[in-house]
Amino acid sequence: MKIDRLVSIIMILLDKRRIGAQELADMFEVSPRTIYRDIDAINMAGIPVRGASGVGGGFEIMPEYKIDKKVFSAADLSVLLMGLSSLSNMIRGDELVCALAKVKSFIPADRAKDIELKVNQICIDLSPWTGNRNIQPYLEIIKTALQESRLLAFEYIAHHGNKTERTAEPYQLVLKSSHWYLQGYCHKRNAFRLFRLSRMSNLQIQEETFTPRDYQKPTLNFAEMWETMQTKIKIRIHKSVMDRVLDYCTYDDFSPDGNEHYIVSFPFIENGYHYDILLSFGNKCECLEPLHIRTEMKRRIHDIAAMYES
């Protein structure tokens, strides 16, 4: 007995006044006998379905139980469709297609145009502009492993380019700051780890299954920690990179410096990642202070220049 067929039958019964067993059987490509068993299961679940015999007979949910479609406003349906549509860009599958169809079944004909207009007012596309093309197939592999509690094996590029082979129990897919991650229990580290999908290669689902252990959700909000670690440095930028600098701070941090430049109070942590951010602005950015960060920038720029001289 398939759960998705039962749910679909319930939605059909909610949408239609009455439908025959043979029509349902043809729709789901099963026997009428299977449909009768499904109806019994739906009744046992507490949804009152009654049968009517004779011409025009069939199954129907008792009228007092039916959901009034007007219970959902145009705004409610727009939000549901918007969320499901954005997920369907990255995570494909029968479940999402079925869910979209069910939500659309609640849209009255006289409100369809209005709801379509509202849904199209906001577009959420989670797929990347460019980059690692393994993400989409890897999402499907991980989703299967999650559903079936099967181990995953893959190669992983960790910090400083260290490449290791990992086996992990998958527990959660995470989308954070436009990047996909897998939260899993790593057998190599004997601990829960958050793996970035773009750093995985040769991802394989294993035949071996696992018994889920007590799950530790990943820590995803580091705002308070970053605030204690960050310091503000002063940089001078050309207006041509202003749009990129705004990815890391707000317009309130900018002060005009002539017609072509700005002085920016820039959030900074003294690590390789943040030095690389400053270097990515090229000759359109100069670190003014503090002196020790300016000196370190000069050293890194000298090392880059020396590499091209050899």
Q: What is the mean pLDDT of residues 254-263?
A: 96
- Percent above pLDDT 70 for the chain: 82
Is 135-209 in the same CATH topology as 3-65? no
- Give the domain ranges of the chain: 3-65, 70-119, 135-209, 224-309
Q: Which amino acid is at 6?
A: L
Q: What is the mean pLDDT of residues 137-156?
A: 94
Residue that wins the pLDDT comparison between 158 and 110:
158
Q: Is the pLDDT of residue 1 over 60?
A: no
CATH architecture of 135-209: Roll (2.30)
CATH of the domain spanning 3-65: 1.10.10.10
Q: Please, which pLDDT band fits residue 67 given cuts at 50, 70 and 90?
A: low
* Distances from the Cα of 261 to the Cα of 99, 186, 243, angstroms: 51, 48, 13
Q: Is the pLDDT of residue 133 over 80?
A: no
pLDDT the model gives residue 242: 96
Mean pLDDT, the chain, rounded, equals 84
pTM of the complete model: 0.61
pLDDT the model gives residue 272: 92
pLDDT the model gives residue 30: 87
Q: Is the pLDDT of residue 19 over 80?
A: yes
d(CA 295, CA 299): 6
Tens-place pLDDT, residues 185-239:
999 999 999 999 999 999 999 999 999 998 878 877 766 766 778 899 999 999 9
Q: What is the mean pLDDT of residues 170-181?
A: 88
Residue that wins the pLDDT comparison between 66 and 114:
114
Q: What is the mean pLDDT of residues 6-30?
A: 81
d(CA 106, CA 66): 12
